[in-house]
């Protein structure tokens, strides 16, 4: 369902402090802007099969978020390619795709449109989304007034109601109270039973090992371990997050 082949991502970082856009443009015109290349990802290759629950582990700065954004199509890799087979619903950031000035009701339809669903389809799913999120009382409140937990409820409810072929979840199950996390896990288990492919990123090692069958460990932008979730978790426990990645 997901093929990641030789993916690398390079960011150009200025070596000097530039205080304004005007100063930057002047220096750029005079060829005075100097950069350092920072490789956030290096030669990442792995495959995720249909119906698989795949976990990605790594310390902060390992490259997890960059990798998810590339898989989700938010960013284009500097090198390599990603192939996606089927529809995808990414939950890579709380409230991503929401307009804070719009109400929860309006954002349900907006988010559905971003994911490629018609207004008619979202009307059919509306009650299910509201019931799952438990936000009926706040359905006409602008989401800028929502807590992070309420954002999580609404975002997760929309993404899972549309029943995508692939669901990408980034830390969202770590948000909210215990009851809501259990509710999310039950929903994901239902989707797994229906054959949905799950890509899960979390710092909660117990959650990843409980839900996933396989995965990989990222360190310094490279894959240092890929295989069964037990072997990946074992390496994670032993690692300090500073393994040297060899090309």
Residues 91-149 have pLDDT tens digits of 766 556 789 999 999 999 998 887 778 899 999 999 999 999 999 999 999 999 998 78
Least confident residue range of 46-50, 82-86, 105-109, 169-173: 169-173
Q: Coil, strand, or helix at residue 78?
A: coil
As a whole number of angstroms, the distance between CA 190 and CA 109 comes to 24
Q: Which residue has the higher pLDDT, 228 or 162?
A: 228
User: What pLDDT is recorded for position 86?
Assistant: 87
CA nearest neighbour of 42 among 224, 202, 199, 200: 224
Residues 6+ positions from 158 with CB-CB distance below 8 Å: 108, 111, 112, 115, 129
Confidence band (pLDDT; 50, 70, 90) for 174? low
Residues 6+ positions from 42 with CB-CB distance below 8 Å: 8, 221, 222, 245, 247
Residues 6+ positions from 136 with CB-CB distance below 8 Å: 130
Element (H, E) at 162: none
| Cα 155 off chain centre by | 12
* Summary mean pLDDT of the chain: 83
Tell me the H-state helices in the chain: 21-29, 64-71, 104-114, 119-133, 148-161, 178-193, 205-211, 229-238
Could you tell me if 84 and 166 are in contact, meaning their C-beta atoms sit under 8 angstroms apart?
yes
User: What pLDDT is recorded for position 203?
Assistant: 76
CA nearest neighbour of 90 among 113, 71, 117: 71
Per-residue pLDDT of 107-123, as tens digits, reads 999 988 877 788 999 99
Q: Coil, strand, or helix at residue 47?
A: strand
Q: In what order do the strands lie in the sheet with 166-170?
A: 88-91, 166-170, 197-201, 53-57, 214-219, 222-228
Name 180's bridge partners.
Answer: none
User: What pLDDT is recorded for position 70?
Assistant: 93
pTM for the model stands at 0.74
Q: Spell out the domains of the chain, with CATH numbers in brackets.
A: 1-86+165-247 (3.40.50.300), 95-163 (1.10.8)
As a whole number of angstroms, the distance between CA 166 and CA 83 comes to 12
């Amino acid at each position: 369902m997901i093929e990641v082949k030789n993916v690398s991502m390079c960011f150009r970082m200025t070596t000097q402090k530039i205080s304004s856009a005007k100063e930057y443009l002047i220096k750029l015109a005079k060829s005075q802007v100097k950069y350092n290349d920072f490789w956030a990802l290096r030669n990442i290759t792995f495959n995720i099969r249909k119906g698989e629950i795949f976990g990605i582990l790594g310390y902060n700065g390992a490259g997890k978020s960059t990798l998810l954004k590339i898989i989700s199509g938010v960013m284009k890799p500097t090198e390599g390619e990603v192939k996606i087979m089927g529809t995808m619903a990414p939950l890579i950031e709380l409230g991503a795709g929401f307009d804070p000035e719009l109400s929860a009701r309006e954002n349900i339809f907006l988010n559905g449109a971003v994911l490629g669903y018609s207004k008619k389809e979202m009307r059919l799913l509306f009650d299910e989304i509201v019931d799952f999120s438990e936000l009926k009382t706040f359905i006409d409140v602008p989401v800028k007034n929502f807590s992070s937990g309420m954002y999580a409820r609404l975002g997760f409810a929309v993404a899972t109601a549309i029943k995508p072929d692939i669901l990408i979840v980034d830390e969202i199950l770590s948000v909210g109270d215990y009851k809501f996390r259990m509710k999310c896990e039950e929903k994901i288990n239902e989707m797994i039973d229906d054959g949905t492919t799950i890509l899960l990123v979390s710092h909660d090692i117990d959650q990843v090992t409980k839900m996933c069958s396989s995965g990989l460990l990222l360190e310094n932008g490279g894959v240092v371990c890929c295989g069964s979730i037990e072997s990946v978790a074992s390496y994670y426990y032993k690692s300090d997050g500073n393994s040297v990645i060899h090309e």
